[in-house]
Chains A and B, each alone.
Chain A
Amino acid sequence: MSASLYLVAMIVIPAIGAAAVAALPRERGLLAKQVTLGVSLVVLLLAVLATAAFDVDGDRFQLTTSVSWIPDFGAEFALGVDGIALVMLLLIGVLVPLVVTASWHEADAGPRPTRVFFAWLLLLEAMMVGVFVATDVLLFYVFFEAMLVPMYFLIGSFGGPRRQYAAVKFFLYSLVGGLIMLAAVIGLYVVSTSQLGEGTFAFDALRQLDIDPEVQKLLFLGFFVAFAIKAPLVPFHTWLPDSGAEAPIGGAVLLVGVLDKVGTFGFLRYCLPLFPDASRFFAPFVLVLAVVGILYAALLAMGQTDMKRLVSYTSISHFGFIALGIFAFTTEAGTGAVLYMVNHGLATGLLFIVVGMLIGRGGSRQIGDYGGVAAKAPLLAGAFLVAGLASLALPGTNSFVSEFLVLIGSFPERPVFTIVATVGIILAALYILLMYQRTMHGPPRGVLLQQDPAEPLSGTGTGTGTGTGTGGATAASATATATRPAAPGTLRVLDLSRRELAVVAPLIALIIGLGVYPQPLLDLIEPAVSATISDLGGTDR
């Protein structure tokens, strides 16, 4: 297979896989899972092959494919990757098989067929790949919007008690952002028509345009709002805690780990190179949003009693760091930001997965319903600790490298913002360690440990069964927030099963590995970021 077909295959194979899984008969749930896992592993393999075929010193976009798609609109089916997109592909490749494994029993208990869950998951993977590899702005837009549909169904069909609300909120927020971006996309096309004589959506051609600064500002805002909703930056963030909390764990990992990265990816890929003047003009405003987001979301995270909401808020705080790195306009900070995108996907992915495993056992999302778990489930607690420490960017974990790069890269340009952002690190330690301490240490208490672990911990029939046997304040909260019943098979075992270890171990290995030796990724990312920063050049400053 020619190297340029890797990218096409990475879209087509999961899409076909999704159709195949959806077409399976209802009772073949296990086969659906196996096919999904197989397909996602193929995509991982393709991502690795694409990385191997990528020449770090070569052109900016490689492995390119371009086929005429809608000639009347001047749109092409044009794919290609730079280093930034490539590391995102690797992240997708790694996360999806793990998510599939972690969600093995996710859909078994619910009323909806298992295969549907996995079909949407594969379709989502195809769309996610598409959005990162598109080098035609209209194609990017199409994937950007179409990506909402599978995630909408994942949240709405397989999520928690308030899933309908969360799904609609997620869809509408993203859709509004997307529609505003659509106006800007068309605007860009019209500008290209007037300057090049023929309208085009090709990224490389659009990059050459010389757009009037006032027009740039409008177009920048069109793109920015869509990405700021996606990423999410404060004040566009309110959908994420709801979606993150209500989504099934697999959906939440991909939502926060990959989908939201489209926002920050969009800043780097589209906002900065296409609208350099406007980017410089708006940079202070964006930085204010970023830093406010870091602190505000961290404070909110500390106040959460629901673990999934807490993790969602931590993500908003981390997205502030990424935005800071991007809008500091230095190669160092930008590289840090991209690395942060990858590391955050791994660290928060692991955190969500471990939290999900805990919730799957206890049936409650409330921190107050757990305590002293570490004594009974040391492996689970250990994984939780690693995920937490990676999330608060402890040196030795991957996040430290990226956070450090962002901060030292931003400091020379934006000292004040950087210093304020640093406070966020301290807050991160607080919210993570408090959650860890309350759930894992202390006297055994809460829904999980009231009963003999040898017995089934909760009724498999009803979602609120876990709340009935507990006393005191926990009973009320557990009943109020109990999630759907944990899947059978995970209930009798308190510590991690072999399947769960297979999910957690690779992530921990990557977190530690990239913490110690991040150079291969940095080598991929740096040239692309420096090309982006040089696109910004030419203007004063």
Chain B
Amino acid sequence: MIEAPDLSFAALAPLLLVLGAACAGVLVEAFVPRHVRHPVQVALALVGTVGALVATLLLAGEEDQVTAGGALAVDGAALFLQATIAGLGALSILLFAERGLDPARSAFVTSAAVPAGSPRDRELMVDTRVQTEVYPLAGFAIGGMMLFVAANDLLVMFVALEVLSLPLYLISGMARRRRLLSQEAAFKYFLLGAFASAFFLYGLALVYGATGSVRLSDIREAGVDGGGGVLLVLGLGLLIVGLLFKASVAPFHTWTPDVYQGAPTPVTAFMAACTKVAAFGAILRLLYVAFGTAEWTWRPLVYAVAIVSMVVGAVLGLTQTDLKRMLAYSSVAHAGFLLTGVLGLGAGGEGSGLAATMIYLLVYGLTTVGVFAVLTLVRDGDGEASHLSQWAGLAARSPLTAAVMALFLLALAGIPLTAGFTGKFAVFRAAIEQGAWPLVVVALLASAVAAFFYLRVIVLMYFSEPVADGPTVGVPGVPTTVVLAITATATVALGVLPGAVLDLAGQAARFVG
């Protein structure tokens, strides 16, 4: 007889809230009249994400536990990352809900199935109906991400990977403007993502073959005994490749610029912030819980991709002329900095690497959502004006927008008194404590190079004369204003007085299992 697995509903509450809200969203789509659908969907999605955030915070004091038949690890790190994902997810939902900026009232195409450029498509361009399926889709993606960082066995991790990826592929292709670019991006993302999933699955199979288990703790036991050998190492390699793809670490980053550019900007914000958190959460858990005792197998690999990622991101970022592509390369560089933090965790879990990486993820996520939120404001007749030259002299036209953008850019560059510096300092300290100072030197040089392209935007906004018939700066509606206010405040607060949050991350920095 099969026994029912133990389920701690309290520990699962954050997940249940988000996924429950998403399921309810599907029903809303079917049964609620069209004219009230949008507010209902937004409210539902916010209830789900904010509820999950509150639930994780309430759980924060609880004992770490492994639940659902050993499939989920609800520990400090999982809760911190889940809270981060839920919070950033809620901010992204707010960006999705903005209806005041685009004259067509939404960033999403009304009906994604209508071929781009067809007569029906042109008809729909001026239609006032809005797309509401994105909210349950985003809800599933957020649920998948939250599951991803708490997965205690490789199969659950794989399921979570798919749950988070599939909705993302879809909503990447739903841009209202430049639809073909958006669809191409979605298709690229889907194809390469499918490859990455295959890698992950193959790695999973090999690891299972080597150790006879998919449970992370069992894999660790097998590693201690020295069992598995080549099979285990190969499997680990493939698993890491699958995860590095999601985290857009070079050399597995090639989808990033295209998808970031093509996807609707609110989706880009969501993807850039939340996917990064989820992917790094999974990387940390996989490396330290499952392979913490087989460090020699992955440390050199991670060391190498960290350097490649920082250099590729920083150098290629210099040559970009489109802001969204530039930010994509910046995200590749930041993935490298994050790996620096990953390496800052010692074999037995000592060192401050875990807390540092989590802080960096939080800080990076907030700044990224903020910076993309600013991007949605600056528009010309053809949608968002993301070409660099269009931003010339923006400060003269809209001082507040330019100031907020400059703040986020300085934070991304890691200038002190912004949140970016707190994150950088934390990961670099963790890495140096573990003796990885050559990596930190590379990271510092890469930061300097990357600073150049962030500065270039500031130069354009502030020191260049405005271009004739340049873009207009839209007046954001309530949702975007809220997002900007929260992210900007957090960027300053985490830069000036990060003590409390650092403390929280430090306490949460533990894995169970």
Is B463 interfacial (CB-CB < 8 Å)?
yes
B443-483 contacts to A (CB < 8 Å): 444-445, 447-448, 451-452, 455-456, 458-459, 462-465
A-B residue pair count with CB separations less than 8 angstroms? 93
Please tell me if A73 contacts chain B, counting CB pairs below 8 Å: yes
Stretch of A53-61, A149-157, A401-409 at the chain-chain interface = A149-157
Known: A72-B502, A171-B455, A190-B433. A149 touches B415 (CB 8 A): yes
Q: Of A100-108, A181-189, A381-389, A518-526, which binds chain B?
A: A181-189
Q: Across the interface, which residues of B come within 8 angstroms of A69, CB to CB? A: 497, 499
Interface string of A432-446 (1 = CB under 8 A from B): 000000000000000
B187 is an interface residue with CB less than 8 A from chain A: no
Contact A73 B429 (CB under 8 A): yes
Known interface pairs A72-B499, A72-B502, A142-B421; A186-B463 also in contact (CB < 8 Å): no
Beyond A157-B462, A172-B452, is A186–B428 a contact (Cβ under 8 Å)? yes
The answer to whether B416 touches A142 (Cβ under 8 A) is yes
Contact A164 B499 (CB under 8 A): no
Min CB distance A29 to B, Å, is 15
Residues of A with C-beta under 8 A to B415: 145-146, 148-149
B437: Cβ under 8 A from any A Cβ: yes
CA distance A73 to B447 in the complex (A): 21
Given A71-B499, A72-B499, A193-B433, the answer on whether A179 and B444 have CB atoms closer than 8 Å is yes
- Note all chain A residues with C-beta closer than 8 A to B441: 183
Q: Which of B413, B417, B421, B463 touches A157 (beta carbons < 8 Å)?
A: B463
- Is there an interface contact between B444 and A70, defined as CB atoms closer than 8 Å? no
Contacts of A164 in B (CB 8 A): 459, 463-464
Q: Which residues of B contact A189 (CB under 8 A)?
A: 429
In this complex, the interface size class of chain A, counting residues with CB under 8 Å from chain B, is 35 or more
B167 at the interface (CB under 8 A from A): no
B295 interface residue per 8 A CB criterion: no
Contact of B416 among A145, A168, A180, A193 (CB under 8 A): A145
Residue of A nearest to B429 (CB): A186
Give complex CA distance A378, B458 in Å: 43
Residue of B nearest to A193 (CB): B433
> Is A420 engaged at the interface, CB distance under 8 Å to the other chain?
no
Task: Write out the residue numbers on chain B whose beta carbons fall within 8 Å of the beta carbon of A68.
Answer: 499
Chain B 398-429: CB-based contact to A (< 8 A → 1; otherwise 0): 00000000000010010111000110011011
The minimal Cβ–Cβ distance linking B149 to chain A, given in whole angstroms, is 22
Query: Residue of B at shortest CB range from A189?
Result: B429
Q: Is A282 an interface residue (CB 8 A)?
A: no
Verify if B346 is at the interface (C-beta below 8 Å from A).
no
Report the bound CA distance from A392 to B416 in whole Å. Answer: 38
Could you say which residues of chain B place their CB within 8 Å of the CB of A183? 428, 432, 437, 440-441, 444
Interface positions of B (Cβ within 8 A of A): 355, 396, 410, 413, 415-417, 421-422, 425-426, 428-429, 432-433, 437, 440-441, 444-445, 447-448, 451-452, 455-456, 458-459, 462-465, 497-499, 502-503, 506
- Given A70-B499, A156-B463, A182-B425, 11 more A-B residue pairs with CB atoms under 8 Å apart are A72-B355, A73-B425, A111-B465, A143-B416, A156-B459, A157-B462, A164-B459, A167-B463, A176-B448, A179-B445, A186-B429
Question: Could you tell me which A residues sit within 8 Å of B by CB distance?
Answer: 68-73, 111-112, 138, 141-143, 145-146, 148-149, 152-153, 156-157, 163-164, 167-168, 171-172, 175-176, 179-180, 182-183, 186-187, 189-190, 193
8 shortest interchain CB distances as A-B pairs: A142-B416, A72-B502, A179-B444, A156-B463, A145-B416, A176-B448, A164-B463, A146-B417
